[in-house]
Amino acid sequence: MKVNDWEKGCPLLLTQRIILGKWKLSIIWFLGKNGTMRFTELKKAFDDSTLTQKMLTQHLKELESDHFVIRTAYNEMPPRVEYSLTEEGLNFLPILQQMEKWGEYYIELHGDGYDTIPL
Amino acid sequence: MKVNDWEKGCPLLLTQRIILGKWKLSIIWFLGKNGTMRFTELKKAFDDSTLTQKMLTQHLKELESDHFVIRTAYNEMPPRVEYSLTEEGLNFLPILQQMEKWGEYYIELHGDGYDTIPL
DNA sequence: CTGCATCCGGAACGATACTG
DNA sequence: CAGTATCGTTCCGGATGCAG
């Protein structure tokens, strides 16, 4: 009882908890876009951002235990590990799209919040 | 250039940034449900959760500067301050509903992740 | 190639007391 | 009533090095 009991079983808070993490949405977005991706492939997708291997591994683990992504390891040399979305993950994609649309709508009104370099 | 430049202007990451915060979604949810709410009213809505005045104030401030809620202060004694969603905030509600629906769907499959007390 | 172990700084969050 | 101020804690995330 007591602590945070009111949030127990709340679907919204559950969803919030699952996508908690700086790179979660981006990972989901990439997997949704490309289907199956290897670890390094995913890492490269983030290009020059500051995502470290540690965080990528950690977030992928969490997403896996949350039934959001599937991890498939092949016993090869060198090792190969592929990630893809589960059914639950795929069903989440429409939300991502709506968030994107809302973001675009918001940017039209207020900009993206980053400094724009005026000429 | 360089750092996080790839995320610049990304609508999805913008959206993620705005709803960042442990209580943001819940605040938005309450305001969406009840329309206009006073500070204390909002505080009480969280009942016995651990939300402190500090965090509520802080999150409301951020939501306000993000054009997500409107703050209206009345020069009365005792003071009265009311919060409500902006147009942008209202347009975000469908996303909240989708997240709820997805959460319900997820709970049917996997439970809510909290301990259930077996009889 | 795909991770794991360790250390560390800073941001987010929380508890409490005080104010106009 | 609606905050502000201060302090303390937790925990997320970054850097680096190592391993199967």
Instruction: Decide which of A116 and B11 is more confident.
Output: B11
Contact A116, B13 (CB under 8 A): no
- What is the structure's pLDDT at A54? 95
Percent of chain B with pLDDT over 70: 87
**CA–C1' span, A11 to C15, in Å?**
29
Name the band, by pLDDT with cuts 50, 70 and 90, for residue A3: very low
Compare CB distances from B49 to A4, A15, A104 and report the shortest one's residue: A4
Rounded to whole angstroms, the Cα distance separating B89 from B22 reads: 17
pTM comes to 0.90
What percent of chain B stands above pLDDT 90? Answer: 77
- Nearest nt to the CA of B20 via C1' is C12
CA dihedral over A64, A11, A55, A93, signed as positive or negative: positive
Report yes or no: B106 and A14 within 8 Å, Cβ to Cβ: yes
Tell me if chain B has a CB within 8 Å of the CB of A108: no
Low-confidence spans in chain B with pLDDT less than 70: 1-8, 113-119
How far apart are the CA of B102 and the nearest CA of chain A, in angstroms? 7
Say what the pLDDT of residue A50 is: 86
Question: How close A34 comes to chain B (CA, Å)?
Answer: 17
Closest CA to B28 of B114, B73, B94: B94
The predicted-structure confidence for A43-99, as pLDDT tens digits, reads as follows 999 876 889 999 999 999 999 999 999 999 998 878 899 999 999 999 999 999 999
Going from the C-alpha of A106 to that of each of B59, B85, B97, the distances in angstroms are: 19, 14, 19
pLDDT of amino acid B82:
98
Which of A13, A94, A106 lies at the smallest CB-CB distance from B14?
A106
Residue of chain B whose Cα is closest to the Cα of A12: B100
* CA distance to A11, B32, B115, per residue, from B102 (Å): 8, 18, 20
Q: Do B9 and A112 touch (CB under 8 A)?
A: yes
Q: Is the pLDDT of residue A119 over 90?
A: no
